[in-house]
Amino acid sequence: METFSKILNDDKLVLVDFFAEWCGPCKMMAPELKRFAEQHTSDVRVLKVDIDKNRDTATQFNIQGVPTLILFKKGKILWRQSGAMNAQQLSDIVKSEIGNGQK
Protein backbone atom coordinates (compact mmCIF):
# COMPACT_ATOMS: atom_id res chain seq x y z
CA MET A 1 0.00 0.00 0.00
CA GLU A 2 1.23 3.47 -0.87
CA THR A 3 1.57 5.91 1.98
CA PHE A 4 0.93 9.65 1.69
CA SER A 5 4.61 10.31 2.38
CA LYS A 6 5.74 7.84 -0.31
CA ILE A 7 3.41 9.42 -2.88
CA LEU A 8 4.70 12.93 -2.09
CA ASN A 9 8.30 11.79 -2.50
CA ASP A 10 7.67 10.32 -5.95
CA ASP A 11 9.32 11.69 -9.11
CA LYS A 12 5.89 12.56 -10.52
CA LEU A 13 4.31 15.91 -9.68
CA VAL A 14 1.66 15.57 -6.96
CA LEU A 15 -1.10 18.15 -6.49
CA VAL A 16 -2.75 17.88 -3.08
CA ASP A 17 -6.13 19.50 -2.49
CA PHE A 18 -6.71 20.09 1.22
CA PHE A 19 -10.48 20.45 1.54
CA ALA A 20 -13.44 20.06 3.90
CA GLU A 21 -16.90 18.64 3.25
CA TRP A 22 -18.56 21.77 4.68
CA CYS A 23 -16.54 24.16 2.47
CA GLY A 24 -18.57 25.87 -0.30
CA PRO A 25 -15.57 26.87 -2.47
CA CYS A 26 -14.21 23.31 -2.12
CA LYS A 27 -17.47 21.92 -3.53
CA MET A 28 -17.37 24.42 -6.41
CA MET A 29 -13.79 23.46 -7.17
CA ALA A 30 -14.33 19.68 -7.16
CA PRO A 31 -15.40 19.41 -10.84
CA GLU A 32 -12.52 21.70 -11.88
CA LEU A 33 -10.05 19.52 -10.01
CA LYS A 34 -11.54 16.43 -11.65
CA ARG A 35 -11.23 18.03 -15.09
CA PHE A 36 -7.61 18.99 -14.35
CA ALA A 37 -6.81 15.44 -13.17
CA GLU A 38 -8.31 13.95 -16.34
CA GLN A 39 -6.21 16.29 -18.50
CA HIS A 40 -2.98 15.51 -16.64
CA THR A 41 -3.13 11.78 -15.90
CA SER A 42 0.36 11.22 -17.31
CA ASP A 43 2.23 14.05 -15.58
CA VAL A 44 0.44 14.93 -12.31
CA ARG A 45 -1.08 12.83 -9.58
CA VAL A 46 -3.99 14.52 -7.78
CA LEU A 47 -4.84 13.73 -4.17
CA LYS A 48 -7.66 15.08 -2.02
CA VAL A 49 -7.11 15.33 1.74
CA ASP A 50 -10.10 16.00 4.00
CA ILE A 51 -8.69 18.22 6.77
CA ASP A 52 -11.34 17.06 9.27
CA LYS A 53 -10.40 13.40 8.81
CA ASN A 54 -6.65 14.07 8.53
CA ARG A 55 -5.97 16.71 11.16
CA ASP A 56 -2.34 15.68 11.68
CA THR A 57 -1.57 16.02 7.98
CA ALA A 58 -3.35 19.39 7.82
CA THR A 59 -1.31 20.57 10.82
CA GLN A 60 1.93 19.23 9.31
CA PHE A 61 1.41 21.44 6.23
CA ASN A 62 0.07 24.40 8.23
CA ILE A 63 -3.30 24.44 6.48
CA GLN A 64 -5.08 27.59 7.68
CA GLY A 65 -7.99 27.67 5.21
CA VAL A 66 -9.62 25.51 2.59
CA PRO A 67 -9.29 24.84 -0.19
CA THR A 68 -5.49 24.91 -0.07
CA LEU A 69 -3.59 23.42 -3.00
CA ILE A 70 0.03 22.32 -2.74
CA LEU A 71 2.15 21.04 -5.63
CA PHE A 72 4.94 18.62 -4.66
CA LYS A 73 7.87 17.05 -6.49
CA LYS A 74 10.12 14.57 -4.67
CA GLY A 75 8.70 15.71 -1.33
CA LYS A 76 9.50 19.37 -1.97
CA ILE A 77 6.79 22.03 -2.13
CA LEU A 78 6.98 23.77 -5.51
CA TRP A 79 3.84 25.88 -5.22
CA ARG A 80 1.08 26.55 -2.72
CA GLN A 81 -2.11 28.61 -2.75
CA SER A 82 -5.33 28.90 -0.80
CA GLY A 83 -8.60 29.53 -2.61
CA ALA A 84 -10.55 27.97 -5.44
CA MET A 85 -9.08 27.80 -8.94
CA ASN A 86 -10.28 26.46 -12.26
CA ALA A 87 -8.72 23.66 -14.30
CA GLN A 88 -7.02 26.07 -16.72
CA GLN A 89 -5.36 28.02 -13.90
CA LEU A 90 -4.07 24.76 -12.41
CA SER A 91 -2.76 23.66 -15.82
CA ASP A 92 -0.94 26.97 -16.24
CA ILE A 93 0.73 26.57 -12.85
CA VAL A 94 1.87 23.03 -13.63
CA LYS A 95 3.22 24.12 -17.03
CA SER A 96 5.06 26.94 -15.30
CA GLU A 97 6.63 24.56 -12.76
CA ILE A 98 7.61 22.07 -15.46
CA GLY A 99 9.07 24.98 -17.43
CA ASN A 100 11.15 25.94 -14.41
CA GLY A 101 13.05 22.67 -14.78
CA GLN A 102 11.13 20.79 -12.12
CA LYS A 103 10.28 17.84 -14.37
Residues recognised as catalytic: 23, 26
β-pair partners for 76? 73
List 13's β-bridge partners, or say none. 44
Contact between 20 and 28 under an 8 Å Cβ cutoff? The reply is no
The CB density around residue 50, as the number of other CB atoms within 10 Å, is 17
